[in-house]
């Protein structure tokens, strides 16, 4: 297989497409779509989002030092796209997309009730990196929808048909192909021995 070299660019796909909610000091709320987000640290639990300086939400998050990452699903695809191309300066995107605001436990920004997971965050550092500023944040609370909890209290997040973004398109996650550590599990080793006999 041959390869071509392209100019440097952001080709890290797929990415989670999340809806980030925020509130300014005057109490005005906004929601924006962010695909450049990720886990930073597990102890303490930390995440990051990258936001362009000119985005309406940038100043809100910088000013308040808080935001909520709301995971998205197949059902939220249209709202996820809409909130990424429209500005909260001109309209109320919550109303336009029939998104229900809920109350966060630890931050003032609202959560989205339609989201299966709401990750409440407090900004610890802002890195000015060029086209985007990177907001590093500590996770201060997580809310999950009981719709995905079974009777034993286990959380089945993958039943939510989580949304991913890849090279200009939205996708719901497909079939499960394996589990973390499965390549070195005892059963996997037994199966390899059988094959090699």
SS3 for 127-152 is: EECCCEEEEEEEEEEEEECHHHECCC
Widest CA span of the chain, in angstroms? 70
Q: What is the pLDDT of residues 10-59, one digit of tens each?
A: 888 999 999 999 999 999 999 999 999 999 999 999 999 999 999 999 99
The pTM assigned to this predicted structure is 0.91
pLDDT digits (tens, 9 = 90+) for 56-85: 999 999 999 999 999 999 999 999 999 999
Q: pLDDT > 70: what percent of the chain?
A: 94
Domains located in the chain, CATH noted = 15-196 (2.30.110.10)
With cut-offs at 50, 70 and 90, classify the pLDDT of residue 9. confident
Tokens of 147: 């719709």
Specify the pairing of strand 101-102 against strand 29-34: unpaired
What is the average pLDDT score of the chain? Answer: 93
Residue 115 Cα distances to 147, 165, 171, angstroms: 11, 17, 16
């Amino acid at each position: 297989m041959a390869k071509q070299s392209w100019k440097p660019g952001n080709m890290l796909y797929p990415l989670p497409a999340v809806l980030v909610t925020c509130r300014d000091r005057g109490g005005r709320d906004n929601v924006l779509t962010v695909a450049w987000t990720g886990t930073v640290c597990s102890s303490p639990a930390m995440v990051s989002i990258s936001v362009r300086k000119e985005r309406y939400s940038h100043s809100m998050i910088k000013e308040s030092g808080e935001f909520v990452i709301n995971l998205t699903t197949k059902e939220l695809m249209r709202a996820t796209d809409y909130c990424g191309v429209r500005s909260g300066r001109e309209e109320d995107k919550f109303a336009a997309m029939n998104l229900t605001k809920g109350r966060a436990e630890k931050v003032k920004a609202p959560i989205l009730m339609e989201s299966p997971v709401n990750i409440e965050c407090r900004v610890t550092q802002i890195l000015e990196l060029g086209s985007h500023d990177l907001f590093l944040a500590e996770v201060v609370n997580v809310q999950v929808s009981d719709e995905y909890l079974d009777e034993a209290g286990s959380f089945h997040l993958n039943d939510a048909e989580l949304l991913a973004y890849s090279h200009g398109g939205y996708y719901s996650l497909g079939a499960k192909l394996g589990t973390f550590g499965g390549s070195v599990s005892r059963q996997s080793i037994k199966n390899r021995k059988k094959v090699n006999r």
